[in-house]
Amino acid sequence: MTKTATSPATRASPTVNLHVLGPVLALLLLIALGAWLNPNFLSYGNVTNVLARSAFIGIIAVGMTFVITAGGIDLSVGAMAAFVAGLMILAMNSLIPIMGVGIPVILAGMAVAMVAGFIAGWLNGFLVAKVGIEAFIVTLGSMGIYRSLVTWIADGGTLSLNFDLRTLYRPVYYDGILGVAWPIIVFAAVAILGEILMRRTAFGRHCAAIGANEQVARYSAVNVDRVRIATFVLLGMLVGLATIMYVPRLGSASGSTGVLWELEAIAAVIIGGTVLKGGFGRVWGTVIGVLILSLIGNILNLASLVSPYLNGTIQGVIVILAVVLQREKKAAGAR
């Protein structure tokens, strides 16, 4: 349709720059809009609140970036987070009689979360890579399984962490260093490490190669199965990490914990410019995507311009817009 579709040389033209800068511009625009609508928007309290809340999705979305870049998808992360949270609470509560209320119990709970995330991610990855079932199907299945398992271990209600332990654990969400909350610090660390992993290591390069063309990767001596499993394991462990940050916030888990997280994470990845079909991913873009999504909700809450109930509508429009932009980039890059 457009002239760019037939002209490879226009790749280097401003179209691409817009593609790279698009998400950043959108984020800056949102910040300006928020500041203009409500003076409290840029206050320390609000910024901390927005960033800390987006940390869970953000940590998961960084892992999702790798899975999607390698040509996969994981729909189970929200349910997995709920299940891991349930297991973690259950484990900590049952350890109190043995170990007493104290930091060791919390550390044990954290270990449970990481191990559970590892196993859950590995299972997804194994079924995708070794058994050869499509990632969409595998994780659609595991999503249902984890969701029902957490409902079952909570007996349809809510699993609550022991009250004394909760008091002890609370600072992990609410405190921080130098006024920066822990979830924000962890999210930032994950994002920076993720960006390095994606851009500067063989693993990141291999993820992109597999997503771009699995055959080429195989013929280039890339261990495709192992890399693919590793992306799911990485994501599972990041789900575990997100859960560790999430549990102290409410101190409970139920069948409705983490509902729709998978979609928010995937949306953030796509808004950030990672190609849904795989082959190209950028972690910093995902971080921007997460911030865009959570800022929209925040601005709607602060400004009474549009009903906050329309949050989902606006987020949806943004996701679709991001994909349209992506497609134009692809057309321009076509042979």
- Footprint of other proteins on this chain (CB under 8 A)? 6-13, 196, 200-202, 205-206, 208-209, 212-213, 215-223, 279-280, 333, 335
Angstrom distance (rounded) from CA 91 to CA 95: 6
Nearer to other proteins, 217 or 319 (CB): 217
Annotate the chain with three-state secondary structure. Answer: CCHHHHCHHHHHCHHHHHHHHHHHHHHHHHHHHHHHHCHHHHCHHHHHHHHHHHHHHHHHHHHHHHHHHCCCCCCCHHHHHHHHHHHHHHHHHHHHHHHCCCHHHHHHHHHHHHHHHHHHHHHHHHHHHCCCCCHHHHHHHHHHHHHHHHHHHCCCCEEECCHHHHHHHCHHHHCEECCEEHHHHHHHHHHHHHHHHHHHCHHHHHHHHHHHCHHHHHHCCCCHHHHHHHHHHHHHHHHHHHHHHHHHHHCEEECCCCCCHHHHHHHHHHHCCCCCCCCCCCHHHHHHHHHHHHHHHHHHHHCCCCCHHHHHHHHHHHHHHHHHHHHHHHHHHCC
Q: How far is the CB of 286 from other proteins (least distance, A)?
A: 20
Nearer to other proteins, 53 or 205 (CB): 205
Q: How far is the CB of 280 from other proteins (least distance, A)?
A: 8
Annotate 127-164 with three-state secondary structure. Answer: HHHCCCCCHHHHHHHHHHHHHHHHHHHCCCCEEECCHH
Q: How far is the CB of 221 from other proteins (least distance, A)?
A: 4
Nearer to other proteins, 246 or 280 (CB): 280
Q: How far is the CB of 234 from other proteins (least distance, A)?
A: 17
Nearer to other proteins, 94 or 220 (CB): 220
Nearer to other proteins, 11 or 130 (CB): 11
Q: How far is the CB of 59 from other proteins (least distance, A)?
A: 22
Nearer to other proteins, 16 or 263 (CB): 16
Nearer to other proteins, 7 or 313 (CB): 7
Q: Is residue 277 classed exposed, middle or buried when 0-12, 13-18 and 19+ CB atoms within 10 A define those classes? A: middle
| 102, 113, 174 from 181: Cα distances, Å | 22, 21, 6
Q: How far is the CB of 279 from other proteins (least distance, A)?
A: 6
Phi and psi dihedrals of 38, rounded to 5? -145, 120
Q: How far is the CB of 17 from other proteins (least distance, A)?
A: 13
